[in-house]
Amino acid sequence: MNPGLRSSLVVVAALAALSPVALVGCSSSSTQSAEAAAQVASGAVLIDVRTPEEFAGGHLDGALNIDVQSADFDARITELDPAGTYLIYCRSGNRSAAAIETMEGLGFTNLSDLGSLSEAADATGVAIVR
């Protein structure tokens, strides 16, 4: 077989193998967005765990600002109902993951990590306000 043709077939086969993965990724992303939007509609609480300065620069409309890096994070979180539904976001997804880990340790069970501000806005349909 021609080496150029063989290389082309390998690329086509690789792309074909990845297509179902890409479709599943899109599907689950859409499912997560629909779920997050439904949770907001049913009263889930949005929590922005960035600094107050970051929050002031833009946040989801109606979100609480509870800075995960502040000394009073645990105290402020324990003021919330552990049986509630909470959607957590930050700048990149790192601090929201840390916040969820802490909240789980405090007995919270219905938590979703929405990642960054823009990802959270896309997933929930909630506007970013400044």
- pLDDT, one tens digit per residue, over 102-120 is 999 999 999 999 999 999 9
Strand partners of residue 45: 86
pLDDT of residue 33: 76
Q: How confident is the model at residue 29 (pLDDT cuts 50, 70, 90)?
A: low
pLDDT of residue 1: 55
What total of structural domains would you count in the chain? 1
pLDDT of residue 95: 98
Q: Is 26 a catalytic residue?
A: no
- Catalytic residue (choose from 40, 88, 90, 99): 90
Whole-angstrom distance, CA of residue 62 vs CA of residue 101: 23
| 113 contacts 96 by C-beta, under 8 angstroms | yes
- pLDDT, one tens digit per residue, over 57-93 is 999 999 999 999 999 999 999 999 999 999 999 999 9
Whole-angstrom distance, CA of residue 95 vs CA of residue 4: 48
Structure tokens at 7: 């290389």
Among 22-36, 43-57, 97-111, where is mean pLDDT lowest?
A: 22-36
What CATH number is given to the structural domain containing 62?
3.40.250.10
Whole-angstrom distance, CA of residue 121 vs CA of residue 126: 5
Please give the residue range of the domain that contains residue 49: 3-129
